């Protein structure tokens, strides 16, 4: 049915365009001065077909299945209908049978219910098709009637375009709001829902120095209050991010300066894409590179110096993560430095500046807002990165600033908590949402700081 | 204290030496170009240019678009070096020193030859830092007080001090177009160059700002050798003492501005200034 509906939609769209634009052409051939070009009359007609048909489908389809379901359930006794769980499973059986996937015995009531269900679905969908077609034809008729010399099809279509674009932007914004709201509700449940056993207080969570949610599965195991201490995760995350930024910051920025200012155009043409390939390496590949190649090397090197190095260390994860985010910094910084107008460089050269003076004192300050946002983007990537840390830094929530120890991060713990079968009302699972919320909050603060810096140092130049 | 008096007397001696030439009437050539050719890749942009540019005063380069006047201007401080495909042959000397000589440091050259561009290009820094840029990179001042003095005197010479003295820390890019161009002139003056090159400095400015910049050029000519490229013949007539006419990559005629505009020798010059082409 859906296929038929959308085929009709496509055909009617085409028809609407052809009819309306033909009519406009014919009208102008008789000497009428047209306000809008034929294409705009056609496009307006298309919108008058697509909009009502999509709306009818979007509203009608769920309505039809709702009606079919509630009518089908009348075949069952009232106690089944009124119990949400039983009604739900009955409905699943009906749908399975209707789709021909039911196995096992079929009771009379189920058979009858399925027949009712299918009948309602069929007639409902048929009705939808009729309504949709009528609306589309009415749309075509209206648009054809509207074609005239004075009719401002172009301006009307422009307004429709604006609405469509607004809707697209709206989807992104609403999704964000939805995610934040859902994470926030679960976080509030984690902290305040009295039905959750073993939940910590907010202060225990934010300032606790021990993280051991596995221990808190049963109330008689360990001290529940101290099981959800967030501090080791935060220090672990910050430690690895700091190591990564120490690697990627200088390397990325300096290679950007080379690419933008010193490299010949030929060199730049080849070097830049190669550098960007690094950003395309899947993090899981980088992860086992870190775990199997870098970490043992660091360990061997550390032992040669007489240092005690864990086989999974923050340093290994941080180094490889730094490699991962170099392209973000270098490629974006290179772009913003290229956008600095040549006239500024000329101004510096004309005053007798050397190349490096011009770069240091004119190009870099002018490109600073862009460079800062490149750094911030790279840092958010590093904070949000999971795979490399899972593989190379381990799961032990050690509260340490020693880069040679194993540490763990917020993201890794979220992953560890949610892997496998979980009950969604245990403190352990909800802790993942609390971690997610804190992670979101940290990146939000970073972004706000970045925006402040950018605004403070942004200079107008053209 | 003793140092500053020594410096002062040195400056006075140089000044005296300079003015001696002027009063004697013999104007020595500040810039001397001999058989200068410029190529952009295969394009022969400038052909066999010979010209003598005297110290103190304004020399205007006029001519239709693409005639090579800006190219020649950019040869004088070797800004053409920044264009990879550009090649210069021939000889240009400033104070008898070959500026294309291998041993010459282009950075030193550009400190002596300032440049003001067609579009105002203040750095995205404060007004103060814009002017202080040159003195800082060349280490011309020993301390903050001296730097303040240089900044103030440069802005005063550029007739901008009164407009910006209360907001020296504001961004230079926030000024109006005319103020920005005067800031660029102040920036060029701050390194105390001998020569100031101006590449159509008023083409992006409105008439009032243009008038201010022209007045400024007129004031500066007693202290600097100014070479200005302009599209406007009225401007050339107003501000310059000597004028060179370029056409299709050659220097057609060079003479006192008065002669060029009243009694040119070459027919092409005559045609151009009477508006027959260009």
DSSP A398-457: -----TTS----HHHHHHHHHSS---TTSHHHHHHHHHHHHHHHHHHHHHHHHHHHHHHH
- Check residue A54 and give its pLDDT: 92
Average pLDDT, chain B: 86
Helix, coil or strand: residue B96: coil
Average pLDDT in the A176-184 region?
A: 93
- Check residue A95 and give its pLDDT: 84
Nearest CA to A285 among A313, A321, A310? A321
User: What is the phi/psi pair of residue B226, to 5°?
Assistant: -110, 130
Bridge partners for B89 per DSSP: B37
Q: Cα distance from A355 to chain B (closest Cα, Å)?
A: 10
pLDDT of A370 > 80? The answer is yes
- Confidence tier at B11 by pLDDT (50, 70, 90): low
All residues of chain B having their beta carbon less than 8 Å from the beta carbon of residue A361 are 123, 133, 137
pLDDT of B105 > 70? The answer is yes
pLDDT of A103 > 60? The answer is yes
pLDDT of A55 > 90? The answer is yes
- Check residue B8 and give its pLDDT: 53
pLDDT of B4 > 50? The answer is no
For A365, the closest chain B residue by CA position comes to B124
CA–CA separation, A273 and B127 (whole Å): 39
CA–CA separation, B45 and B66 (whole Å): 8
CA–CA separation, A296 and A302 (whole Å): 10
How far does Cα A340 stand from its chain's mean position? 31
Provide, rounded to the nearest whole percent, the portion of chain B with pLDDT above 70: 89
- Check residue A397 and give its pLDDT: 80
- Confidence tier at B122 by pLDDT (50, 70, 90): very high
Average pLDDT in the B219-239 region?
A: 90
Q: Cα distance from B143 to chain A (closest Cα, Å)?
A: 19
The tokens of B32 are what?
Answer: 């001397």
How confident is the model over A221-258, as pLDDT tens digits?
Answer: 555 556 788 888 889 899 999 999 999 999 999 999 99
pLDDT of A279 > 50? The answer is yes
A356 in contact with B, Cβ within 8 Å: no
Helix, coil or strand: residue B47: strand
DSSP class of B52: E
- Check residue A308 and give its pLDDT: 80
Provide, rounded to the nearest whole percent, the portion of chain A with pLDDT above 70: 95
- Check residue A138 and give its pLDDT: 94
- Check residue B15 and give its pLDDT: 55
Question: A302-316, B36-50, B66-80: lowest mean pLDDT where?
Answer: A302-316
pLDDT of A212 > 70? The answer is yes
What burial class does residue B25 get, using C-beta atoms within 10 Å of its C-beta: 0-12 exposed, 13-18 middle, 19+ buried? Answer: exposed
How confident is the model over A26-41, as pLDDT tens digits?
Answer: 998 898 888 888 999 9
All residues of chain B having their beta carbon less than 8 Å from the beta carbon of residue A343 are 117, 119, 121
Model's pTM, two decimal places? Answer: 0.74
DSSP class of A309: -
Cα dihedral angle (A304, A309, A312, A314), rounded to 10 degrees?
-110
- Check residue A462 and give its pLDDT: 44
CA–CA separation, A25 and A32 (whole Å): 10
DSSP class of A363: I
Average pLDDT in the A286-291 region?
A: 88
State whether A350 and B137 contact (CB < 8 Å). Answer: no
**Any alpha helices (H) in A312-426, and if so which ranges?**
314-339, 342-350, 355-358, 364-384, 387-392, 410-418
Average pLDDT in the B13-26 region?
A: 50
Average pLDDT, chain A: 86
All residues of chain B having their beta carbon less than 8 Å from the beta carbon of residue A454 are none
pLDDT of A377 > 90? The answer is no
pLDDT of B144 > 50? The answer is yes
pLDDT of A260 > 60? The answer is yes
User: What is the phi/psi pair of residue A211, to 5°?
Assistant: -120, 115
A170 in contact with B, Cβ within 8 Å: no
B24 in contact with A, Cβ within 8 Å: no
State whether A347 and B123 contact (CB < 8 Å). Answer: yes
Contacts of A171 (CB under 8 A, 6+ apart): none
Contacts of B52 (CB under 8 A, 6+ apart): B29, B31, B32, B33
- Confidence tier at A391 by pLDDT (50, 70, 90): confident
- Check residue B2 and give its pLDDT: 43
All residues of chain A having their beta carbon less than 8 Å from the beta carbon of residue B188 are 350-351
How confident is the model over B75-94, as pLDDT tens digits?
Answer: 999 988 888 888 899 999 99
How confident is the model over A430-439, as pLDDT tens digits?
Answer: 888 888 998 8
Q: What is the DSSP string of A243-301?
A: HHHHHHHHHHHHHHHIIIIIS-HHHHHHHHHHHHHHHHS-HHHHHHHIIIIIHHHHHHH
- Check residue A136 and give its pLDDT: 93
Half-sphere exposure of A243 (CA within 13 A, CB side): 21
CA–CA separation, B43 and B26 (whole Å): 38
Average pLDDT in the A316-329 region?
A: 91
DSSP class of A228: B
Average pLDDT in the B116-130 region?
A: 91
All residues of chain B having their beta carbon less than 8 Å from the beta carbon of residue A353 are 107, 133, 137
Provide, rounded to the nearest whole percent, the portion of chain B with pLDDT above 90: 42
pLDDT of B23 > 50? The answer is no
Average pLDDT in the A376-385 region?
A: 88
Across the A/B interface, how many CB contacts are shorter than 8 Å?
A: 73
pLDDT of B177 > 70? The answer is yes
Average pLDDT in the A293-305 region?
A: 87
Contacts of A101 (CB under 8 A, 6+ apart): none
What sign for the dihedral angle of Cα A217, A220, A224, A227? negative
- Check residue A87 and give its pLDDT: 82
- Check residue A14 and give its pLDDT: 94
Contact B160, B191 (CB under 8 A): no
pLDDT of B6 > 70? The answer is no
- Check residue A226 and give its pLDDT: 61
Give exposure, B114-132, as e/b (b: 16+ Cβ within 10 Å): bbbbbbbbbbbbbbbbbbb
| Structural element, H or E, at residue B129 | helix B127-138
Q: What is the ipTM of this complex?
A: 0.83
Q: Cα distance from B134 to chain A (closest Cα, Å)?
A: 6
């Amino acid at each position: 049915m859906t296929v038929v509906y959308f085929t009709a939609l496509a055909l009617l769209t085409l028809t609407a365009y052809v009819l309306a634009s033909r009519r406009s052409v014919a009208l102008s051939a008789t000497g009428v001065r047209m306000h809008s070009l034929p294409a705009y009359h056609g496009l307006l007609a298309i919108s008058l077909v697509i909009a009502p048909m999509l709306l009818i489908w979007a509203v009608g389809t769920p309505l039809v299945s709702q009606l079919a379901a509630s009518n089908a359930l009348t075949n069952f006794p009232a106690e089944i209908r009124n119990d949400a769980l039983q009604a739900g499973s009955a409905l699943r059986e009906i749908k399975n049978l209707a789709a021909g996937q039911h196995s096992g015995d079929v009771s009379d009531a189920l058979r009858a219910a399925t027949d009712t269900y299918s009948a309602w679905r069929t007639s409902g969908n048929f009705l939808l098709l009729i309504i949709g077609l009528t609306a589309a034809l009415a749309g075509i008729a209206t648009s054809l009637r509207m074609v005239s010399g004075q009719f401002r099809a172009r301006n009307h279509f422009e307004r429709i375009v604006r609405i469509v674009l607004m809707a697209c932007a709206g989807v992104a914004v609403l999704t964000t709001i939805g995610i934040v709201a859902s994470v926030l509700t679960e976080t509030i449940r984690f902290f305040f829902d009295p039905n959750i056993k073993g939940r910590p207080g907010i202060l225990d969570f934010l300032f606790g120095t021990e993280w051991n949610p596995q221990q808190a599965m049963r109330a008689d195991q360990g001290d529940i209050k101290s099981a959800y201490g967030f501090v080791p995760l935060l220090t672990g995350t910050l430690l690895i991010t700091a190591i990564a930024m120490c690697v990627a910051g200088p390397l990325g920025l300096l290679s950007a300066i080379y690419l933008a200012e010193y490299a010949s155009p030929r060199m730049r043409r080849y070097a830049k894409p190669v550098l960007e390939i690094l950003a395309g390496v899947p993090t899981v590949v980088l992860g086992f590179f870190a775990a199997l190649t870098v970490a043992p090397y660091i360990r061997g090197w550390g032992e040669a110096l007489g240092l005690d190095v864990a086989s999974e260390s923050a340093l290994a994860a941080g180094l490889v993560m730094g490699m991962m985010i170099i392209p973000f910094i270098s490629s974006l910084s290179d772009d913003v430095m290229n956008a600095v107008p040549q006239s500024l460089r000329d101004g510096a050269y004309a005053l007798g500046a050397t190349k490096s003076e011009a770069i240091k004192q004119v190009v870099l300050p002018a490109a600073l807002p862009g460079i800062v946002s490149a750094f911030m983007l790279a840092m958010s990537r590093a904070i949000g990165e999971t795979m490399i840390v899972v593989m190379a830094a381990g799961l032990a929530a050690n509260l340490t600033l020693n880069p040679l120890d194993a540490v763990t991060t917020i993201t890794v713990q979220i992953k560890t908590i949610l892997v496998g079968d979980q009950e969604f009302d245990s403190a352990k699972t909800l802790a993942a949402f609390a971690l997610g919320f804190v992670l979101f909050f940290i990146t939000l603060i970073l972004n706000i700081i970045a925006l402040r810096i950018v605004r403070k140092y942004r200079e107008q130049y053209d | 204290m003793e140092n500053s008096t020594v410096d002062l007397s040195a400056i006075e001696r140089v000044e005296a030496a300079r003015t001696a030439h002027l009063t004697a009437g013999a104007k020595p050539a500040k810039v001397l170009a001999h058989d200068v050719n410029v190529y952009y890749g295969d394009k022969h942009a400038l052909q066999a240019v010979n010209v003598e540019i005297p110290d103190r005063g304004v020399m205007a380069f006029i001519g239709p678009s693409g005639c090579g006047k800006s190219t020649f201007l950019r040869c004088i401080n070797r800004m053409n070096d920044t264009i990879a495909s550009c090649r210069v042959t021939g000889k240009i000397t400033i104070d008898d020193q070959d500026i294309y000589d291998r041993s010459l440091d282009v950075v030193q050259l550009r400190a002596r030859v300032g440049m003001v561009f067609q579009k105002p290009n203040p750095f995205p820094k404060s007004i103060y830092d814009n002017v202080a840029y040159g003195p800082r990179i060349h280490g011309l001042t020993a301390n903050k007080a001296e730097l303040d003095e240089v900044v103030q005197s440069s802005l005063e010479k550029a007739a901008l001090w009164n407009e910006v003295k209360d907001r020296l820390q504001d961004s230079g890019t926030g000024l109006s177009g005319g103020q920005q161009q005067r800031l660029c002139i102040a920036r060029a003056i701050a390194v105390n160059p001998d020569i100031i090159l101006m590449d159509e400095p008023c083409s992006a400015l409105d008439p009032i700002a243009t008038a201010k910049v022209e007045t400024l050029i007129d004031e500066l000519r007693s202290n600097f050798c100014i070479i200005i490229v302009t599209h406007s013949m009225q401007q050339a007539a107003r501000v310059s003492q000597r004028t060179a006419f370029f056409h299709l990559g050659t220097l057609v005629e060079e003479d006192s501005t008065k002669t060029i505009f009243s009694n040119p020798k070459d027919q092409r010059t005559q045609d151009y200034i009477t508006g027959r082409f260009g």
